[in-house]
Homo-oligomer: A and B are copies of this chain.
Amino acid sequence: MDYYRQHRQDFLEGLKSFLRIPSVSTMVEHRKDVLEAAGFVERELREAGLNQVGQIRGAGHPLVYGEWLEAPGKPTLLFYGHYDVQPPEPLDEWLSPPFAPEIRDGNIYARGACDDKGQTYILLKALEGFMRTAGRLPVNVRVLIEGEEEVGGEHIASYVAAHPERLRADAALICDTEMFAPELPTICIGLRGIVYGELEVRGARTDLHSGVYGGAAPNPIQAVSEILCALKDRDGRILIPGFYDRVRPPAAEERAAWGRLPFDEREYLAKEIGSSELTGEPGIPVLERVWARPTLEVHGIRGGFTGEGAKTVIPARAVAKLSLRLVADQRPEEAVQQLEAGIAAATPRGVTAEFRLIHGAAPSLVDPSSPYIQTAARAMTEIFGHETVYIRSGGSIPIVGLFRERLGIPSVMMGFGLPDDNLHAPNEKFHLANFYRGIEAVARYLELLAE
């Protein structure tokens, strides 16, 4: 571990160079920058001494690959990360420019500092240490870093599906989640899945005058409202028949462990949500609601006249974006069918409703008793000096489901971000202490795995 402690300044300088590249994958004008970031990762892997280093070109931004498979009889890990970042807007809310990394109070501020350049760099530096000092790794490692995580990750999805043999491994290691609290080493073992689509409701042939026809003509906005209210009650309970049938409740130990986590509901409401009250299913603790319960959310809606002033129209159509978040053992395909049936049953007379699926991802739940998880927890506990906790995340990381489905492997999600790291928001940061400890924790994980 000496190498890691002695090279912190180098790691920091390297991370700054990585963060200076505005690799915003969603914006065409940053295409060159995205490619530059891919080149940066490729160079790092090459300089670390990995084999087969190169870029995998495809429909979208390149994947960067490298491997070191010279530890026969030892496990093989698949390292995953992403070099693309979210757009930095709104720019005027940043205290320092998003692509000019600045250190303040022990944090490095820049877009991608935490999500996910900082955490991807942890993986690269952990490998570098072994290669520079021992000339070899304790276990076999494949590295696959993508550049489209923030835009749906289609390239990696098709690559993993098409070439599972080239990625053969025993487990994946992903550093793209967060610690539950500062100083609290954290492994994420569950993610919600998702089914996201568009609900379109059509009524009359064209927009109608609400004076002339109000009382006889169907109103698609009212119909969307009626459908939404028929799908979910005011307590957040989803009313779609059969929807909860496959929901696996958290085990008693897991629930008990969540109860011991340092979580203050009032602080969460005040600091993170900022509304008058929390909502959701009564009698179910907040963490369980966001980690282990499925949800139905409307993300956007439009219909009719929304300009300034008044227009007395009954619109001909309304469109809502909505999603179901799924938990183990729900299945996206089945959820879509249930949702469609629910919508059909809830559609009021006079309108037609159609749901168009945009994307879906399965939920995932890793068995915490897996040796890959247990060993990761040991490594983190050692480095951080606190017992590692297991959490879930309410979000969806489709790659985890993909690795399980296509490669048949669990994902170990060691997260080093903090809850206030401002992911996807202005003033994204990464706590430098977690950056350095992250590198050591990953390195220690490889050592322990080799034992």
Query: Is the pair A358, B215 in contact by a Cβ cutoff of 8 Å?
Result: no
Interface assignment of A300: CB less than 8 Å from any CB of chain B: yes
Which A residues, 225 to 239, have Cβ-Cβ distances below 8 Å to chain B? 225-226, 228-229, 232, 234, 236
Interface assignment of A293: CB less than 8 Å from any CB of chain B: yes
Query: Is the pair A312, B299 in contact by a Cβ cutoff of 8 Å?
Result: yes
Query: Is the pair A395, B194 in contact by a Cβ cutoff of 8 Å?
Result: no
Interface assignment of A393: CB less than 8 Å from any CB of chain B: yes
Mask, A208-227, CB within 8 Å of B = 1, is 11111111111101101110
Chain B: CB-nearest residue to A191: B211
Given the interface contacts A225-B225, A225-B228, A273-B217, does A358 sit within 8 Å of B210 by beta carbon? no
Contact residue among B206, B211, B279, B304 (Cβ-Cβ distance under 8 Å from A426): B206
Query: Is the pair B314, A321 in contact by a Cβ cutoff of 8 Å?
Result: no
Chain B: CB-nearest residue to A229: B229
19 residue pairs of the A-B complex, CB under 8 angstroms, read A207-B424, A207-B426, A208-B424, A208-B425, A210-B297, A210-B325, A211-B394, A212-B419, A216-B273, A216-B289, A225-B229, A279-B348, A279-B350, A299-B313, A300-B311, A302-B306, A306-B321, A310-B359, A313-B425
Q: Which of A211, A224, A323 counts the most chain B CB atoms within 10 A?
A: A211
Count identical subunits in the complex.
Answer: 2
Mask, A280-321, CB within 8 Å of B = 1, is 110000100110010101111111111111111111001111
In the A-B complex, the 3 residue pairs with the smallest Cβ-Cβ separation, listed nearest first, are A211-B395, A205-B274, A300-B304
Residues of B within 8 A of A225 (CB): 224-226, 228-229, 298
CA distance A224 to B300 in the complex (A): 12
Query: Is the pair B222, A232 in contact by a Cβ cutoff of 8 Å?
Result: yes
Interface assignment of A144: CB less than 8 Å from any CB of chain B: no
CA distance A10 to B93 in the complex (A): 62
